[in-house]
Copies of this chain bind each other. A is one copy, B any other.
Amino acid sequence: MTSEVPQADRQGEAVDLVVEAGGAHLPRLLEAVEARLREVAAAPGGAVGGWAEGTIAAGGKRLRPLLVLLAAGAVTRGQDALVRAAACVELVHAATLVHDDVLDAAPLRRGRPTVWAAAGREAATVTGDHLFARAFSELAANDDAEQVRVLSRASSALAEGELLQRSDAWDTAVTPERYLRRCELKTARLFEAACVLGELAAAREPGLGPYGRRIGLAFQILDDILDVSGPAERTGKLRGTDLLDGTVTLPLILAGLEDLDLHPGITPAQAERICDRIVATGALERARARALSLVVEAKEMLPGDLTGAQRRALLLVADGVVERYA
């Protein structure tokens, strides 16, 4: 049903462009982040280490670590600190995904069985806890309390956003403002944190937070658009997955479907029909316009003191957030 390979390839190409623009040091640093992620996740050994490593090995876009590295600019000293900062953001992201999969009873992620599906909710809950703990341990080695505070605040925001999403479930009267607030907590704050951590780890004055926050918001809006637009062969997941969870997103809100009956127990076929109705209203174009305007804002907010390579790479990341199919 899903088509992982073309999706991965497209993603790979986009990342390649960014890496090419960002500088010759990036491929080696990204590799170091990858190795560090594996090592940290597996560290305690045992079953928990195994599940955590498997979660990391399943891959992902690594967009947040890439942002950390790009925010740091051309770093010649202290690359270990930068690699740790990049790894810890991905570890927090991975921890929340493992816990989300428990709450959603999700069978697959990135084409592999989730920890929940393979080993049960106990294993998945503690694997997420372990990934959280290791993220902070990893970052603490940078000996900068401010970095840990940045990550901790973003983690608490993720928790709050997740709860907001679930408390608003099935409520079709959610306002765009409330939706955006949820996206800010659930997604944008960690993007912002990635940028700030990269700057702090490179001993730069933080200035990329506003950029990070906006591309995070745009990223989430596009995720929500792709859930409605599909097609499944491109996105790698069924259309209307959000509707099955009762998650009301911007396309649905902007569609203004007055007579909509969204209720627990909705079938995939019903969800797909609602997706068709949303598409017919033109709401996807309006949602995409919102995402694009956030990307424009993000670009305008890039600080003036970036190197040419850094600016080019960050502009490409901003564009990539909305020009993607998976």
Sample of 17 A–B contacts (CB below 8 Å): A46-B163, A46-B164, A48-B159, A49-B160, A96-B129, A103-B121, A122-B162, A122-B163, A122-B166, A129-B158, A132-B155, A133-B155, A133-B159, A136-B148, A140-B140, A140-B147, A141-B145
Kindly list chain B residues whose C-beta atoms are within 8 Å of the C-beta of A158.
126, 129
Cβ proximity bits A199-239 to B, threshold 8 Å, 1 near / 0 not: 00000000000000000000000000000000000000000
Q: Considering the complex, give the chain B residue whose CB is closest to the CB of A100.
A: B125
Q: Is A110 positioned at the interface, with any CB of B under 8 Å from its CB?
A: no
Whole-angstrom CA separation of A168 from B234 in the bound complex? 42
Cβ proximity bits A121-154 to B, threshold 8 Å, 1 near / 0 not: 1110111111011101100111101011101110
Q: Is A102 positioned at the interface, with any CB of B under 8 Å from its CB?
A: yes
Instruction: Knowing A136-B136, A137-B152, A140-B136 are in contact, say whether A47-B160 is a contact too (CB < 8 A).
Output: yes
Q: Are A129 and B44 in contact (CB under 8 A)?
A: no
Instruction: Knowing A137-B153, A148-B148, A152-B134 are in contact, say whether A129-B99 is a contact too (CB < 8 A).
Output: yes
Interface residues in A, total, Cβ within 8 A: 48
Whole-angstrom CA separation of A120 from B268 in the bound complex? 25
Q: Smallest distance from the beta carbon of A269 to chain B beta carbons, Å?
A: 26
Kindly list chain B residues whose C-beta atoms are within 8 Å of the C-beta of A289.
none
Whole-angstrom CA separation of A227 from B120 in the bound complex? 26
Candidates B47, B136, B145, B164; contact of A163 at CB < 8 Å: B47
Whole-angstrom CA separation of A43 from B156 in the bound complex? 9
Whole-angstrom CA separation of A242 from B162 in the bound complex? 32
- For chain A, residues 161 to 181, give those with C-beta under 8 angstroms from any C-beta of chain B: 162-164, 166-167
Q: Are B140 and A125 in contact (CB under 8 A)?
A: no
Q: Are B122 and A103 in contact (CB under 8 A)?
A: yes
Whole-angstrom CA separation of A47 from B185 in the bound complex? 13
Candidates B142, B155, B167; contact of A47 at CB < 8 Å: B167
Whole-angstrom CA separation of A157 from B47 in the bound complex? 11
Q: Is A188 positioned at the interface, with any CB of B under 8 Å from its CB?
A: no
Kindly list chain B residues whose C-beta atoms are within 8 Å of the C-beta of A130.
155-156, 159-160
